[in-house]
A and B are shown apart, each in its own frame.
Chain A
Amino acid sequence: MALLELDDVSVTYRIAAGEVPAVRGVSLTLDAGTALGVAGESGSGKSTLAMALLRLLPRDARVGGRILLDGDDVLAMKWGRLRAVRWAEASIVFQGAQHGLNPVQRIGDQIAEPLLVHGLAKPDSARGRVAELLEQVGLPAWRARSYPHELSGGQRQRIMIAMALACSPRLIIADEPTTALDVMVQAQVLTLIKELLAERGISLIMISHDLSVLADVCDRLAVMYAGRVVEHGPSREVFHDPKHPYSAALAAAFPTVGDPVSRLAPKGLGGDPPDPMDLPPGCSFHPRCPVALDECPTLDVKLWPAGPERRAACVHVRPEQAEPAETTLEVS
């Protein structure tokens, strides 16, 4: 049963210079109790999409399409209902938010604050709940008395996860939760996330530019390029056998240590990320694509079926005669 359904979601920022189409017609489904990874380079629209899910975008952003959470359209929700959703059903761990902890307030008070504000705990029970949350993320209860500067980067990221868990949400959206953490700390945080998924049946949307990390944690993967999903499918398959050349470049960027093919042969993707205000026509990836065809600059590219439960937006997977039903953006 789908917990979250995105149907043709688009987000456009209006800025002085014009319009920035940051997300362009994304359709995706997240089943309850599963994890979806969203990959893509910086500026591809991952964070914008994440914030759109809970209507957390700035006022200058215009959102189109439908976002159904348990069948309820988030974009049409009244303010009161939306607030309830944000506190009780879904929470988001923002990119870089661990740097935003209040430096002069103790960790425990920062975790307790939303619980108190939203009447989810009484002042006398808040401390116990904070200890419980700290324990869930593998920190001792005495850490409640610490200040942020006394914690390492990984510990601060655990605090952010504890805060996201505070209201027992069914869905957690984690934006780059391990980027900039070192390998061992990243492993600790990923292990924690996997345990939470397995033990508490939480659903997860995790954003990263590291496909190997997403493949490790998530059931399914969606790869974004220039505001669009260009490939999606079961995560191991997308990672090990990408069908879209951009996914292939992302997958090759982090080598497998021990693989002779990548030894002294780093793989990159030439060219620059596209300017969302001046997107290349046809397949927007064509200026950087190593396998582009003559028709790509004018191609009307669709998310074509690319194997069981897989789709990719590339001419190389286009069926001989695409049937109308398969050319829609409807997904898995």
Chain B
Amino acid sequence: MTETQAPVEAVGTARPTLLEARDLHVEFPSRGRAARAVDGVDLAIGEGEIVALVGESGCGKTTLARTLLGLERPTSGSVLYGGTALEYGSKALKAYRREVQLVLQDPMGSLNPRQTVYEAVAEGPRIHGLAGEQEIVASALSRAGLRPPERFFLRYPHELSGGQRQRVVIAGALALEPKVLIADEPVASLDASVRGEILALLLRLRDELGLSALVVTHDLGLAWNIADRVAVMYLGRIVESGPVEQVLTAPRHPYTQALLSVLPESPERVVLTGEPPDPTRIPGGCRFHARCQVLASGRAAEAGVDGRCRTEPLSVLPAVPTAQAACHYAAVTD
């Protein structure tokens, strides 16, 4: 840890912190070992802020998102909402779920095929015993762009297009009037042509309702399209974070540089090889060192940090909105 006390107000922006992970660790038992899926994360999401959490498959994005939602209990560290640590009693969690809602990936998998659109969206309000169900459902559907809402009440998922199904899933989350949406790959299973429509919806919800969102994705174009801030995750840690313009146009961590370099339009590709990272065997030193192109090419040695790359772990990046990278090389070269 670099900081003993994380800031309650995000430094450098006007946005007060709404949801926060503080020194969060989540471990799972895995074939006799511990999979450290989230291995020390500080992250703050401000009011009305859209944060993209990016990284390759298996780096711990979904686990971090589920832990922020209270669906997974941290092994250590805490989740804070409005400055108060999350409690895990069923009543406290139920109240929390009204505020922080999950939008699942794969709308086909998350909607019940035998449930009408109305029933699907009404489920949340019913669990929470809200009055005026029909109005709630109608307004959630129309805010999600399904208008006029009555036309969709009695439809079944198979009668909808993929984009419409994703809107129903979003409407289900909106029905409880949450403050934060946590969306896991909200457009990964959608067609290219529908993708932009759903992303535009998320942006509009932020502008009109002041919603905050954490969008989990491996799609950097998505982050560029809608996020204010981006956090890049590698093997359970955030290795770089900051404003989207800064991180995605001038990345400082070699891992972020590699992720950006493999986008179809980029000139020089750094295709990382090797097996996908394994959270049961997190390497010592910098956790990226075995795959790091800066270390492999000798640039880290030129800067005199190669020894530290291999042996000296980096500290957890604090939850600040300014650009930062957890890299020995970046620290001495800029």
Contact = CB atoms under 8 A, between A and B. Distances in A.
A254 to B, nearest CB: 5
Interface stretch (A86-94, A129-137, A162-170, A208-216): A208-216
A262 B196 CA distance: 10
Contacts of A213: 264
A178 to B, nearest CB: 11
A268 B56 contact: no
Contacts of B163: 272
B303 interface: no
A262 B224 contact: yes
Interface in B16-74: 56-58
Nearest to A249: B193
B110 interface: no
B191 interface: yes
B259 A191 contact: no
Contacts of B248: 257-258
A81 interface: no
A18 interface: no
A187 interface: yes
A246 to B, nearest CB: 8
B273 to A, nearest CB: 7
Interface in B202-228: 203, 218-221, 223-226
B198 interface: yes
Nearest to A44: B191
B193 A188 contact: no
B222 to A, nearest CB: 8
A152 B58 CA distance: 10
B226 A264 contact: yes
Interface residues of A, number: 44
A257 B260 contact: yes
A182 interface: yes
A1 to B, nearest CB: 30
A183 B161 contact: no
Nearest to A217: B264
A37 to B, nearest CB: 12
B265 A212 contact: yes
Contacts of A259: 224
B198 A268 contact: yes
B264 A182 contact: no
B258 interface: yes
**Interface class of chain A by DSSP:** loop
B134 to A, nearest CB: 25
Interface string A113-152: 0000000000000000000000000000000000000001
A158 to B, nearest CB: 12
Contact of B56 (A182, A246, A272): A182
A259 B259 CA distance: 17
B269 interface: yes
A20 to B, nearest CB: 16
A301 interface: no
Q: Could you say which interface size class chain B belongs to?
A: 35 or more
Nearest to A212: B264
A332 interface: no
Interface string B219-243: 1110111100000000000000000
Interface in A253-285: 253-259, 262-270, 272-273
B310 interface: no
A197 to B, nearest CB: 16
Given A184-B272, A185-B57, A273 B161 contact: yes
A250 B193 contact: yes
A181 B258 CA distance: 16
A84 B160 CA distance: 42
B164 interface: yes
B200 A266 contact: yes
Contacts of B249: 257-258
A2 interface: no
A41 interface: yes
B192 A255 contact: no
A25 interface: no
Contact of B273 (A188, A246, A264, A270): A188
Contacts of A41: 191-194
Contacts of A270: 197
A186 B221 CA distance: 15
B11 interface: no
11 contacts: A183-B262, A184-B258, A188-B271, A215-B264, A252-B196, A254-B192, A257-B260, A258-B249, A268-B193, A268-B194, A269-B197
Interface of A: 41-42, 152-154, 180-188, 191, 209-213, 215-216, 246, 249-250, 252-259, 262-270, 272-273
Given A257-B221, A257-B248, 6 more contacts: A152-B57, A184-B56, A209-B191, A258-B224, A262-B221, A266-B199
